[in-house]
Chain A
Amino acid sequence: MPSGTIRDVGIRGIACAVPDNRVPIDACCDRFEKEHVDKFVKMTGIRSRHLMVGGQCVSDLCCVAAQRLLEHLDWDPQSVGALLFISSTPDYRLPATACVLQHRLGLGKDCAAFDMNLGCSSYPYGVWLASTLLQSSGIERALLLVGNQINLYIDPDDRATAMLFGDAGSATALERQEGSLMRYRLKTNGDGFRKIIVPAGGARNREYGREPYLHADGSFRSDYSYYLNGTDVFNFTITEVPEIISELLHDCQLPREDIDLYVLHQANLFILQRIAAKLKIPMSKVPVSIDRFGNTSGASLPLTLVTCAGDAVKDRLQTVLCGFGVGLSWGALSLEIDKAACLPLIYSNEGYAEGSPDHV
Chain B
Amino acid sequence: MADRTKTVLLEEILAVDEGTLNEEMELSGMGQWDSLARISFVSLMEDNYGRVVGNEEIRKCRTVGDLLAMME
Contact = CB atoms under 8 A, between A and B. Distances in A.
Do the two chains bind? Answer: yes
Given A231-B42, A235-B42, A274-B43, A39 B36 contact: yes
Interface string B23-55: 000000001001110111011001000001111
Contacts of B34: 36, 159-160
Interface string A221-253: 000000011111011001100000000000000
Nearest to A232: B55
- The secondary structure that dominates the B interface is helix
Interface residues of B, number: 17
A159 B37 CA distance: 12
Interface residues of A, number: 20
A242 B27 CA distance: 32
Contact of A40 (B36, B40, B42): B36
Interface in A235-283: 235, 238-239, 270, 274
Interface in A295-353: none
B4 interface: no
A319 B10 CA distance: 38
A231 B52 contact: no
Given A217-B59, A239-B52, A274-B43, A231 B38 contact: yes
Interface of A: 35-36, 39-40, 43, 159-160, 217-218, 228-232, 234-235, 238-239, 270, 274
26 contacts: A39-B36, A40-B36, A159-B34, A159-B35, A160-B35, A160-B36, A217-B55, A218-B59, A228-B35, A229-B55, A230-B39, A231-B38, A231-B42, A231-B54, A231-B55, A231-B58, A232-B54, A232-B55, A234-B39, A234-B42, A235-B53, A235-B54, A235-B55, A238-B52, A270-B40, A274-B43
